[in-house]
Structure 1
């Protein structure tokens, strides 16, 4: 069976490594490359041989919306799936108008993301369950949908641990975390040990995977 060739564009390196590792474990998929910015992607665009782009929205230099527009100009047949934390209707609308064929939140589980990749790579359209409900609520005038992500209690992580986990995934050093949160480096290290113990992971990449799978980190 031919694998679906995926290219990821996201400015958070640890997130890219984490999602690449998760998708690579699936025999249906092959990660053919990644870029940390739109300009990096465009510089190698002619060399690419792939089936689908996974694109974040909030990135430096070129936004995901503008990048999608440029990709579609270069290759009108390109299959583009937005993978983002933005659950705002205006972003969904902008990505659709720019040429994206799908939109999935980073809080979605791996099963839904895999389904979205398969559908969009085949030339069809896919919008995550939360996005569909949000669009319906927007059109019908209902209040925004409730957040379905797991609570901190369900994950057994404290609010402070969630905060520090988020900063670790964003590649903050212990010193930077301490300065940002106005706590000592020793306290940061204690929280770090507790986070690794509770999540049962052994590396920063493992934390990135955990964050993605549980939808608790805002990778903006």
Structure 2
């Protein structure tokens, strides 16, 4: 009998009773004298004993199918709800918008915005007219714009103003305004000599003397 350790296959075949009588006798003789092979043989024998005992055990496997189905259904409901939220929000906005329009709230706000836009457009148009006529703007208020032009440009700017139906009048001196439509002179609230007159709550203004080739015009918004 050799002292060489047995292979795992030899020990396994011994336990499975697959060796010949001669080989079996040799292996058993070796196990009795070799401590290492004896321990391995005992360990493998115990494992086989435990595995064989498990064959008769009835293990209850949990049923995960019902729980899995419930989780899937819950996720599907949540996904459908999140998908419907934008449509619900859009419907609410449309309903409230229709209510505002029917009650007139939207119209009031819209009219206010439209009026402001109209005033802004008119002011822009006046400024562009003055600029295109080689004039200069002296002052801008909420009610009118005062500008100064060359006398040879007066006819051209009058045509533009009349075409756009913009009211205007000439300033003939530092404090008097000539209204071409009415044919009369009006006090426009400038300083006259030592006396000071203020109309329409405007601050008193004192223009410098106008050059002989210049004309001042008040253009109303």
In the superposition, the TM-score normalised over structure 1's length comes to 0.24
In the superposition, the TM-score normalised over structure 2's length comes to 0.24
Q: Which has the larger radius of gyration?
A: 2
